[in-house]
Structure 1
Amino acid sequence: MTMNTPKANRVHIGFFGRCNSGKSTLINMLADQPVSLVADVAGTTTDPVSKAMEILPLGPVMITDTAGIDDTSQLGQLRIAKTHELIKKINLAVYVLRSDEAFTEDDKKWIEELKLQELPVAVFINEIGAGESLESESIHKGKESTLSRSAELYVSQHPELNTLATVIGSGNFTSSTNRLELLDLLGGLTPLDAEEDQSLLSGLVNPGDTIVLVCPIDSAAPKGRLILPQVQAIREILDYKGLALVTQTEEIPALLLSLKNPPKLVITDSQAFEEVNALVPDTIPLTSFSILMARFKGKLKDLVLGVNAIKNLKPGSKVLISEGCTHRRQCDDIGTVKIPMWLKQNGYTDLDMTWTSGGAFPEHVEDYDFIIHCGACMLTRREVLRRIDVAVVQGVPIVNYGILIAMLHGILERAVSPFKDELQ
């Protein structure tokens, strides 16, 4: 089901505008359900509110309501800061204006900020006070725009608007009269990164190929389910008409003996790299879910190059370990326990370590000597690329969990060999 598409793999659409511009009302109308709280009181929306839905032909999307960009309440600056944070993660921006209010410098500043992030920006005009007869007054312009006569007048009175964004629709957001029309217009937009063919196993699986997935069931494994990268890998193997064989580490020898032909690829949890490497013959390609995520979400070449800087670490070196999720820490947690342990076993002792999780990632990392990042299955590709760029621009080596673990266990060359052509 599309509603089960992981949040990180959806097209993220942010809705922006001033307080009481109609952002929440528009989202509720498009979603055809009360997603956001609506009231005449300015500043009703505080923290960003998200809703997963399907908008064709975009497919699975995540739409997010934000606080008003002119929130002057006691917590207004904190709310606006959260809105700024959202800009770094979305693929498409919708800016909402009211037909009875002028286009302001605040509006201009925010649309310019969205454009600076290379985001496509679509403007919807809220026809305040428009009645059910709006549709009969609309001027239809095919897929590109559907504006009422009063909205056309609004645009003509504010010519700078069209130089900043695309005004694609207008309507009475309290009415569902032109809901499908506005959904169609929104679905026809091209989000940032849409041109990239993103796939976890792209180029690695052909019809009939056997892929072995090693999924250890230990204290870190979620009860009753697999982790997201494992599920994604299984689904993609099925999409490519391949054969997915799922096993635990200790069952690998029996599984390999049962096969008439060796598997095309073995993919393991990075934490089991050492054991799996010993059990899988060198003639069979081996990698990890985390390295696949590095390839899928980020820049694999930069992350592989980044691991070489580990030799420069010495006692007192500052290391940032960052995770994209906020799971409850286990006694053998990979980020806070296992990676520090493996670093110590390889002679990297007395390091000054800092941890972040979820949406937290510092904008200024120049004081760090090394950054270790998780596979980022819970983050959008745009956010992962941004974090890598933050590190690279500020001259700080950054590496992915799987790449680091492979290097610390002496099997990095084998673990990245399936992608050798991409690393040239």
Structure 2
Amino acid sequence: MEQTPKANRIHIGFFGRCNAGKSTLINMLTDQPVSLVSDVAGTTTDPVSKAMEILPLGPVVITDTAGIDDTTELGALRMEKTEEVVKKINLAVYVLRTDEEPTSDDMHWLGLLKQNNVPVALFINEINAVPNNLTESKASIGRDILGERYIADYMGLSDLVTVIGSADFTSDAKRLELLDLLGGLTPLDVEGEQTLLQGLVGEGDTIILVCPIDSAAPKGRLILPQVQTIREILDHKGLALVCQTEELPVMIHSLKNPPKMVICDSQAFDRVDELTPDSIPLTSFSILMARFKGKLQDLVAGVKAIKNLKAGSKVLISEGCTHRRQCDDIGTVKIPNLLKKQGYTDLQLEFTSGGAFPKDVSQYDLIIHCGACMLTRREVLRRIECAVVQSTPIVNYGVLIAALHGILERAISPFVDELEG
């Protein structure tokens, strides 16, 4: 569980006003000083994340966010960061205090979570001491306002919100109770039973993985999609055979029976296609990721826009991770060169990486996205939806490369029933 990639974890965001108790709550849940705690409003600036395990949810990432009523000079920028968190998480915990009535800020952010269909656990932070400006009677009213009746009446949130009550931050029993309550929630947009090789591999099946080792390959290890694919083959009690491109024919001929499938790095698609008999199904790690993380149908549909590219067309090339660029980096070097080789010259190329992805993509004639192994399924779906809603074609690396080499039909043939369904 501790080694589960961040992108494969359930992401839980913690929201609320300054000094609502978000950071203290996270420190209690993780049993570690993850977030800085202070009476000074605005202590939490940028989102802070911590990986842990919450059963039965499994591996999760907990993210602390800035107070939603941050009025400091950088408050607006911090709210943009918080809004990005809303679009990536699978669950939300919203923290309110019993000595303060809900404000328009609370309503706005609860509404934003509802708009994004994020299940919300409402945590009521019971403040034992009654402030001088709040009578005991008003404090009791505050507890009622913050109860289930208030949430049920507000914007129809009762279908999403689970009220998990007040807590003593120093109580181990309350910590375990809260973990149990969080573990019982149903997260949004997680893979669930869907797996990378869903329906493609069974016990005893032989799968050949073609993993080129070039200057862009990480020294001493394989990239994440390759590792995940090997692990899943082993989980299904299949046989995973790994080789580089030019060793593929020898490996195929050494087998008594043909392999169930060949999976390759998209950058080697054309050569692997030449070396793999037509009778053996072929696809790439990137296309498997497109199927696993997002909507392969939309990414395949975006291929039609490639032939419409001309001089001056604007193309966004977006990667979900940040890494040191190599001289033959796929996103900034290899794909632009491949487009030029295919006759698509003088394009206006723009690049984004990591969490950066523009809200307005209508200006682009095409979006080319990476395999997204470092992004959550929710974030990938959001980016695809953003493109589709704005009528901007989107493809991913594997789909684009296969199309440019004229082998897309072969590369997606293992999923033809799903694409037609």
What band does the TM-score fall into relative to the shorter chain? Answer: over 0.9
Which amino acid is 2:316 matched to? L
TM-score, structure 1 length as denominator?
Answer: 0.92
TM-score, structure 2 length as denominator?
Answer: 0.93
Are 2:267 and 1:271 equivalent residues in the alignment?
A: yes
Of 129, 144, 150, which residue of structure 2 is paired with 1:156?
144
Which amino acid is 2:234 matched to? L
Structure 2: distance between partners of 1:413 and 1:363: 32
Structure 2: distance between partners of 1:240 and 1:60: 21
Which amino acid is 1:396 matched to? T
Structure 2 residue aligned with 1:362 = 358
- Cα shift at 1:193: 2.2
- Cα shift at 1:180: 0.5
Q: Do the aligned residues in 2 keep the contact of 1:125 with 1:151 (CA within 8 Å)?
A: no
Partner SS for 2:251 = helix
Q: Choose 152-161 or 241-250, whichever is displaced more.
A: 152-161
Structure 2 residue aligned with 1:146 = none
Which amino acid is 2:260 matched to? K
Q: Do the aligned residues in 1 keep the contact of 2:99 with 2:139 (CA within 8 Å)?
A: no
Structure 1 residue aligned with 2:132 = none
Shift of the 193–80 alpha-carbon distance from structure 1 to 2, 3 Å rule, reads same
Across the aligned residues of Structure 1 and Structure 2, the Cα RMSD in angstroms comes to: 1.6
Superposed CA deviations along residues 197-254 of structure 1, whole A, max 9, x for unmatched, are 3211001001110111111111111111111101110111111111111111121122
Q: Do the aligned residues in 2 keep the contact of 1:129 with 1:172 (CA within 8 Å)?
A: no
Structure 1 residue aligned with 2:94 = 95
Partner SS for 1:326 = coil
Which amino acid is 2:121 matched to? A
The number of aligned residues is: 404
Unpaired runs of at least 5, structure 1: 131-149
Structure 1: distance between partners of 2:235 and 2:394: 32
Structure 2 residue aligned with 1:134 = none
Structure 1 residue aligned with 2:3 = 4
| Pairs within 5 Å for 1:332-371 | 332-371=328-367
- Cα shift at 1:10: 0.6
Structure 2 residue aligned with 1:147 = none
Q: Do the aligned residues in 2 keep the contact of 1:216 with 1:248 (CA within 8 Å)?
A: yes
Structure 2 residue aligned with 1:201 = 197
Partner SS for 2:220 = coil
Of 234, 246, 250, which residue of structure 2 is paired with 1:250?
246
Superposed CA deviations along residues 45-102 of structure 1, whole A, max 9, x for unmatched, are 1110000000000000000000000011111111111001110000001000112222
Structure 2: distance between partners of 1:53 and 1:89: 17
Superposed CA deviations along residues 352-390 of structure 1, whole A, max 9, x for unmatched, are 111111111111111111111100111111111111111
| Pairs within 5 Å for 1:79-118 | 79-118=78-117
Structure 2 residue aligned with 1:415 = 411
Shift of the 153–415 alpha-carbon distance from structure 1 to 2, 3 Å rule, reads same
Of 195, 205, 213, which residue of structure 2 is paired with 1:217?
213
| Pairs within 5 Å for 1:2-401 | 2-129=1-128, 154-158=142-146, 159-163=149-153, 164=157, 165-194=161-190, 196-401=192-397
Superposed CA deviations along residues 267-321 of structure 1, whole A, max 9, x for unmatched, are 0000011111111111110000000001011110111111111111111111111
Q: Do the aligned residues in 2 keep the contact of 1:37 with 1:45 (CA within 8 Å)?
A: yes
- Cα shift at 1:151: 9.9
Which amino acid is 1:404 matched to? L
Structure 2: distance between partners of 1:294 and 1:65: 29
Partner SS for 2:401 = helix
- Cα shift at 1:194: 4.6
Which amino acid is 1:288 matched to? S
Q: Do the aligned residues in 2 keep the contact of 1:22 with 1:173 (CA within 8 Å)?
A: no
- Cα shift at 1:174: 4.0
Structure 1: distance between partners of 2:204 and 2:127: 58
Structure 2: distance between partners of 1:352 and 1:151: 60
Superposed CA deviations along residues 169-188 of structure 1, whole A, max 9, x for unmatched, are 32022443411011001100
Q: Do the aligned residues in 2 keep the contact of 1:200 with 1:233 (CA within 8 Å)?
A: yes
Which amino acid is 1:100 matched to? D
Structure 2: distance between partners of 1:257 and 1:411: 23
Of 387, 396, 401, which residue of structure 2 is paired with 1:405?
401
Q: Do the aligned residues in 2 keep the contact of 1:209 with 1:242 (CA within 8 Å)?
A: yes
Structure 1: distance between partners of 2:217 and 2:326: 10
Structure 2 residue aligned with 1:141 = none
Superposed CA deviations along residues 12-40 of structure 1, whole A, max 9, x for unmatched, are 00000000101010001000111111111
